[in-house]
Amino acid sequence: MGTVSHHSHSGSFCSHAKGTLEEVVLEAIKQGFSTFGLSEHVPRYRVQDLYPEEEELGLEHLSTTFEAYLVEAWRLKELYASQITLLVGIETEFINLDGLDELEKLLHKHTGKIQYLVGSVHHCHERPIDFDKERFDATLDTFAGSEDERFEQLFSAYFDAQFTLLQRLRPEVVGHFDLCRLYYPTRDFKAFPAVWSKIERNIQFAVSYGALFEINSSAFRKGWNTAYPGSDVFQTIVSLGGRFTLSDDSHGPQAVGLHYDKAYKYMGTQELAELWQLKESKGADVARGVVVEKVSGKPWLDSWPALLS
């Protein structure tokens, strides 16, 4: 089998990505992916939550763009079915509880068309933390106290939001688990016992309902020396019985499979014993449209790196 990814975006439906969704799919085929998950962002519901490149587009545009994404994703899924398995999913947002209510309505509306969720959090205190460092630092400054105290409060808020998201939606894939230290990757969660307790709580809950934790190679293009999650969280997921999958979190064809060479090495240094992927299923007991399947062998150590040459 070829390599896999469960998290991707395109310029067709994401303002900060490049290329068309079909170009992304064709690049995945070219690189020998066997399973490739499509996971455009869900729309946001308040004007104040729009990113700068979206402000002129407006809320209605985001909504219609999302509807168009589902149509195009299913067209491509059928068109290229003989060459690649495409899974049609979405990446979540959690800004506030009202937004989660709207997301649940969206999922109900499109029952049968959304096969899986990448459960991600990109905000704290209703402010974005991954758009740029300036906005991250501005969010950090909304908390009181010393620098360490502010980081502790931001991390706590992030993992509490993640826990709420996991409880409400039970996403099949947990997205970039430790995104909250994006611009400060050397920050040690264990320096904050209360934060570390929340991390263990979230992992245990996700494990309890069968979620997969993504090894997300996009951290390397953000300047990290590891994928998401970092080694401390990675090893804790292992110790608590968590299962991993792999994602490139590509934002256009130019980023499909980007830094998978580093991801494979990271998986090797972490002594990953097994990897899992999502597989399409229409069984009566299937929550959305996929089940979990173990990847045979350890192809990240041999056959998948060979695809890069």
Tens digit of each residue's pLDDT (9 = 90 or more) over 120-150: 999 999 999 999 999 999 999 999 999 999 9
Half-sphere exposure of 202 (CA within 13 A, CB side): 31
Least confident range of 29-33, 55-59, 98-102: 55-59
Residue 45, pLDDT score: 87
Residue 248 to residue 257: CA distance in whole angstroms? 6
Q: Are 222 and 131 in contact (CB under 8 A)?
A: no
- Give the integer Cα–Cα distance in Å for 207 and 238: 10
Determine the number of helices (DSSP H) and then strands (DSSP E) in the chain: 10, 13
Report the range of poorest mean pLDDT among 75-79, 280-284, 289-293.
280-284
Integer angstrom CA distances of residue 117 from 30, 192, 292, 304: 25, 30, 13, 25
SS (H, E, C) 193-236: HHHHHHHHHHHHHHHHHCCEEEEECHHHHCCCCCCECCHHHHHH
- How buried is 169 (Cβ within 10 angstroms: 0-12 exposed, 13-18 middle, 19+ buried)? middle
Smallest CA-to-CA distance from 4 within 294, 266, 271, 287 is with 294
Band of residue 13 on the pLDDT scale cut at 50, 70, 90? confident
Model confidence band, residue 40 (pLDDT cutoffs 50, 70, 90): very high
User: ω before 193 within 30° of 0 (cis)?
Assistant: no
Please write the tens of the pLDDT for every residue from 180-202. Answer: 999 999 999 999 999 999 999 99
Region of residue 126 (left: phi > 0; alpha: psi -120 to 50; beta: else): left
Of 198, 247, 242, the C-alpha closest to 219 is 247
What is the distance between the alpha carbons of residues 40 and 21, in angstroms, rounded to a whole number? 10
**Max CA pair span of the chain:** 57
- Which carries the bigger pLDDT value, residue 88 or residue 308? 88
Mean pLDDT of 267-288: 92
pLDDT band at 38 (very low <50, low <70, confident <90, very high): very high
Q: What gap in Å lies between CA 92 and CA 118, rounded to an integer? A: 6
Position 48 scores a pLDDT of 85
Q: For residue 148, give every residue at least 6 positions away whose Cβ sits within 8 Å of its Cβ, in sequence order, or none.
A: 191, 192
Task: With beta carbons less than 8 A apart as the criterion, state whether 297 and 264 touch.
Answer: no
- Residue given tokens 């003989």 in the structure block: 82
Mean pLDDT, residues 98-113 taken together: 95
